Chain A
């Protein structure tokens, strides 16, 4: 076992506080190809990897960094660095000998005192350059085709010094499709054939009004696995992920719209157990049992969404508020459930249940074009409000 782990590339994470900033060091036994991006109070670090990494972490206490989690994608690892202040910025540098990525996180104007580390960091911001185009190359094809017009940038603050890779993406996921028809109405309406037009309407409203491009997880009536839906979000580095569904219940009377975000249900306990096993120290154990999961210094996740629960709940709230006022449907409120499609998504993500297809009156409404327009409009407003309150860099 030892020899095996010696052969595998290893990532070693550590955190150190300086006077004005916290420093995350990701040391590696192999050259690193990385990309760092900010989502409000979370920095997402992508590390290209065609093999498994062994990840070693040191526990830490930091004024700047709350927790670090990681998730594995198809060909990358993703670290989520949860920070203590939404205004924090970062400076990242890829260094060699040993291979390491150093990320300094603090308020703008950080690091006056420790010029040493930072001057080293600034000295070689080299390796980032070759990797970046590769990642963003992944789908320009589709982008260019599906983009009708370059959305105008009005109400979105332009990034200050962020590694701007152009326009941000919102991924919309029309639920079900293909053989997977979803819920069925009494007069035969299928969920899959409602979620697509609503999603398309939403796409065009967003692209008309916001400086975002929109990618749909499916454009036609085809099967798309839940994993691929989440992957579409992650591969496009989505800023938001909105899954559109139509609800069904064994209760005929059930009606109204609902917006869901992910509940960790079983997973938070699992994360604690894993965190404990990895760290295997009594000190950690007592900390885990006495504090909430937010405060655990290191959480091991295989669920990227775990890092975004708070933001996802805000997004859900904003969307639900608009659905309530625009549709006059009964408020079933925002809810949490362990939705498979949301677990792997690495950005704020929600699942909107527009109305109940199993309720005859709502089924009738759902097939009306006008109703679909109003739904799309409401969801758009919710998104816009969220983005106004939590502008993404």
Chain B
């Protein structure tokens, strides 16, 4: 009787463990990825940071044609996906090194960036991006899609981008492009 009970208990415990494992495994594929990126980095850091860099491609509106042109930047690689993505946007805000005009109003800052399990990057900008926007459809299209393209192009797990302003969802930046849903990249705006 007792052994039977013990056996049953054992089976239950094993089942519970399996369930828990399965739950976590299937739960957030994205999360697991992030963690596995982060974990080894932590060790490296403590072992006297061998400064690793990652090359990312940014997109800037060229003065020559009305298309986006890629420029490469090095960002430090010892961080999470959200941090890598943040650095990418920071670099984008710093502007082009080839004289392309900025698609962002002066003083625009990145407040926060996080990536959800479904691959949506939420990019939160300071109010300037909207309040000081020069407006005009073309200007707005390029502000929005330099952000979207620069993220989706470099990070496979970012599928879509949701732009926030001062932490909240905006209808548009300056009256044109719909920001009420996450955006897919527009590689047709990129020069070949």
Q: A250 contacts which of B134, B171, B174, B178 (Cβ < 8 Å)?
A: B134
The reply on B103 being an interface residue by CB < 8 A is yes
> B100-117 CB contact bits vs A (8 Å, 1 = yes)?
011100000000000000
Q: Does A203 contact B (CB under 8 A)?
A: no
| Whole-angstrom distance between the Cβ of A223 and the nearest chain B Cβ | 11
User: Quick check: A353 and B138 within 8 Å, CB to CB?
Assistant: yes
Assess whether A340 is in contact with B171, with CB atoms less than 8 Å apart.
yes
Q: Please name all residues of chain B whose beta carbon is closer than 8 Å to the beta carbon of A245 when the two chains form the complex.
A: 136-137, 176
Q: What is the interface residue range for chain B against chain A?
A: 20 to 34
User: In the bound complex, do residue A254 and residue B184 qualify as a contact, i.e. CB atoms below 8 Å apart?
Assistant: no
Residue in B102, B103, B175, B182 whose CB lies within 8 Å of A266? B182
Binds B, one of A176-184, A320-328, A371-379: A176-184
Interface centre among A246, A258, A338, A343 (most CB of B within 10 A): A338
> Which residues, 245 to 273 on A, are CB-close (under 8 Å) to B?
245-254, 258, 260, 265-267, 269-270
- Please give, as numbers and ranges, the residues of chain B lying within 8 Å of A52 by CB-CB distance: none
Q: Please name all residues of chain B whose beta carbon is closer than 8 Å to the beta carbon of A267 when the two chains form the complex.
A: 181
CA distance in complex: A175, B137 (Å): 11
Instruction: Assess the A182–B135 pair: CB atoms within 8 A.
Output: yes
Q: Are A226 and B171 in contact (CB under 8 A)?
A: yes
List B contacts of A246 (CB < 8 A): 136
> Would you call A191 an interface residue if the criterion is a C-beta within 8 Å of the partner chain's C-beta atoms?
yes
Chain B positions within 8 Å of A340 at CB level? 171-172, 175-180
B134 partner residues in chain A, CB cutoff 8 A: 183-184, 248, 250, 358
Q: How far is the CA of A180 from the CA of B133 in the complex (A)?
A: 11
Residue A390 CB within 8 A of the other chain: no
Residue B141, interface by CB 8 Å: yes
Taking the closest CB of chain A, its distance from the CB of B91, in whole angstroms, is: 18
Q: How distant is the Cα of A339 from the Cα of B140 in the complex, in angstroms? A: 10
Known: A265-B183, A340-B180. A249 touches B139 (CB 8 A): yes
Please state if B136 and A339 are interface contacts (CB–CB under 8 Å): no
B134 to chain A, nearest CB (A): 5
The reply on B142 being an interface residue by CB < 8 A is yes
Q: Contacts of A266 on B, CB cut-off 8 Å? A: 160, 181-184
Is B141's CB under 8 angstroms from A337's CB? yes
- Choose from B136, B177, B179 the contact partner of A247 (Cβ within 8 Å): B136
Is B72 on the interface with A (CB-CB < 8 A)? no
Contact (A254, B138) CB under 8 Å given A180-B175, A339-B176? yes
Whose C-beta in chain A lies nearest to the C-beta of B183?
Answer: A266
Q: For residue A343, which residues in chain B have a CB less than 8 angstroms away from its CB?
A: 178
Whether A191 lies near B136 (C-beta < 8 A) is yes
For A181, the chain B residues whose CB sits under 8 A away are 135
- A137-163, CB < 8 A from B: none
- Judge if B63 is at the interface, Cβ distance under 8 Å: yes
Within 8 A of B (CB), among A308-353: 332, 337-341, 343, 351, 353
CB distance from B33 to the nearest CB of A (A): 21
Which residue on chain B has the smallest CB distance to residue A255?
Answer: B66
Mask, A176-208, CB within 8 Å of B = 1, is 100011111000000100000000000000000
A357 within 8 A of B: yes
Query: How big is the A interface, by class?
Result: 35 or more
Residues of B within 8 A of A351 (CB): 137
A184-B135 contact in complex given A253-B63, A266-B184, A269-B184, C-beta closer than 8 Å: yes
Q: Mark A296-318, 1 if CB is under 8 A from B, else 0.
A: 00000000000000000000000
Contact with A along B129-168 (1 / 0, CB 8 A): 0000011111101100000000000000000100000000
CB distance from A316 to the nearest CB of B (A): 13
B63 to A251, Cβ gap below 8 A?
yes
B85 cross-chain contacts in A, Cβ below 8 A: none
With an 8 A cutoff between CB atoms, is B61 at the interface? yes
Chain B residues with CB under 8 A of A265: 183-184, 186
What residues on B are CB-neighbors of A252 within 8 Å? Answer: 63, 101
- With A183-B136, A353-B137, A357-B136: A251-B101 Cβ-Cβ less than 8 Å: yes
Q: Name the residue among B61, B135, B141, B172 with the largest chain A CB count within 10 angstroms.
A: B135
Enumerate B6-24 residues with CB–CB distance to A below 8 Å. Answer: none
Closest to A227 in B: B171
- Inter-subunit contact A250/B137 (CB<8 Å): no
Closest to A332 in B: B66
What residues on A are CB-neighbors of B184 within 8 Å? Answer: 265-266, 269
Are B61 and A250 in contact (CB-based, < 8 A)? yes
Beyond known contacts A248-B134, A265-B183: 17 more, CB 8 A cutoff: A176-B135, A181-B135, A182-B175, A226-B172, A247-B136, A248-B139, A249-B136, A249-B138, A251-B66, A253-B63, A260-B137, A265-B184, A270-B181, A337-B177, A338-B183, A340-B171, A343-B178
- Nearest 6 pairs of A and B residues by beta carbon: A248-B136, A183-B136, A250-B101, A340-B178, A183-B135, A249-B138
Interface residues of A (CB under 8 A from B): 175-176, 180-184, 191, 226, 245-254, 258, 260, 265-267, 269-270, 332, 337-341, 343, 351, 353, 356-358
